[in-house]
Structure 1
Amino acid sequence: MSGGHRALGPFTVSAIGLGCMNVSHAYGGRPDRRDALRLLAEAVELGITHFDTAALYGFGQNEELVGEALAPFRSRITLASKCGMTGINGKRVIDGRPETLRRTCEESLRRLRTDVIDLYYLHRWDKVVPIEESVGALADLVTQGKIRAVGLSEVSTSTLEKAVSVHPIAAVQSEYSLSSRGVEKSLLAACARLGTALVAFSPLCRGLLTGAVTEATAFAPGDIRLAMPRFQQPHLAANVALATMLRQVAAALDQTPAQVCLGWLLAKGPHVLPIPGTGRRQHLVDNAGAGSAPLPSWALARLETLFAVGAVSGDRYPPATLAEVDED
């Protein structure tokens, strides 16, 4: 692990974490259970200490997998999970009512094989429940010793500011990458001002930035990218062309495209913590090695030019999902 360490609320963690969703949820080509368990254990061996899962992923299966794999290393890692969006009868349901969050926490503790969750996020703000009520329920879980710190996911600056009036918010998790820069409107700066970490999920744009996705890619049935506009034509062709130029920058630096993407994020502020996900060992090794040296100024300037706001074609979510998200 060469990217150093960063603050995540009260914790000090590896600058590059691991988003665990990929091994159980959302994408095709997932590893089998034995390989997934081995991958998670190897992440610890590589020096990764920040692991992120959620009740939603695999409708509980990801937490079970993470709990089994990481139980031997529990004292060495910071474990994050999420509530407020779960699977019920095979469907994704957003529910931020306090009683639901309490129940989900108990279920997550059992699946994760732990007595306490280090960082517990509200996965999505349930817009029919005041954010203060949901955060208040999470604050109660801190008091009870069930969780150590509170986080929010996919929220706007105004929602974050309402939440911190109830309880300190250790982290906000948002999609942030060269291709998704919405947090730069105000949330990135607000997090720095409030002492809140900005945990960047999908920092490689779900494989689009690394060249893993091309115009010839055939997604498996059920892969969430099938419904995302930027993975559909005509957007996809334009975005693949951008990724080709990114690979040229990476080649000049003798880095992988993923390492360049992660290095760019690390340069955005000491409170930014990327959590790339993968089901492949070599990608895990590459990602863990990101940040060994800061990207040179010429590379940062080139990336800013290539990926200026609006350069990536197509929305990150389909319209119905965008309507659920609370963002600036």
Structure 2
Amino acid sequence: MFASLPDRERPTYDRVSHRHLEPLLAREVAAALAPMFASRDYVQHLEHDRRLVARVDRAAATAQHLTRERVAEAVSTVLRHFPDAPATASHSTRRAVAHTRLLAERGAASPYVRRIAAEIADRLPYLADLDPQPVLMRAGTASSTVSPEARAEQRREYMREHSRAARAAEREGRRADMMRAAAWLTAWREQIGPGAHPAPAVHRAYLAAAERAGMTPVGKKQLFQLADEVFGPRKRRATGPVWVVPQEVKTLNVEQRRDLAALIVDRLTAEWREAALDGLADLAAERRTEQAVPDVERRALVVDLASRRALRAA
């Protein structure tokens, strides 16, 4: 794929990352990945003029039908591990690879990933061309004894597992981005001269460096929290918040920078986790207190009808 200059999609503004993205052309990515999916027994079949995807189990002589979401999830998993462009590639190509990985992190919800999945499906071999032809199976049809309740529970378990896997992948990707940001801040601190450095200028320098390196930048709030750990707490000046770099800055090697970045990220994530647990404990205590307090106003409205009747009779 990188033998020649690969094409890219038209630049579009991404509302999630708040910048313009220009990933690799979906058609070319699909052409590169289709042979791999075909080698793993993915096939296409037609049903009522619709192109569907199935995966062949040669041992059982069956083909399991796959939903579009499952195919898109498989494609996003591959794209998240998309190889780097060679060192001889242009800056725009390396940036396109980074944007492709960024969109792949969103899984089947990304229209870009779904387009690649559809393009791959068009290039898969046909189920009808296999000899012998496997029996097409759909989810839940392998055994007629499965009750609707059991199928619903299987579906819920699948969704829970999918959500856990998506959250784990998101946390791992966020941690890697934070590690790179902390390492950049540490190296940048050694390169700049001593003095006061405005927070917006540091943020702009980081975004420019991330763009040049093809990295996914962390959010502004996360960057400032990491910078507080690297430079020390921000100082308030008339022109705005600044970080003050002292006269002498100790030079670190690559391994020391990596260890320092890991220490900073672990410390921040531990603080966030502790704050979240404290918040949950406070919320639970407030709810218990609210349940323990009697509803005085409602109790005051209760009237003893027997006493009222006795008073009227008297």
Using the size of structure 1 for normalisation, the TM-score is 0.25
| Structure having the larger proportion of residues in helix | 2
- Between structure 1 and structure 2, the one with the greater Rg is 2
Using the size of structure 2 for normalisation, the TM-score is 0.26
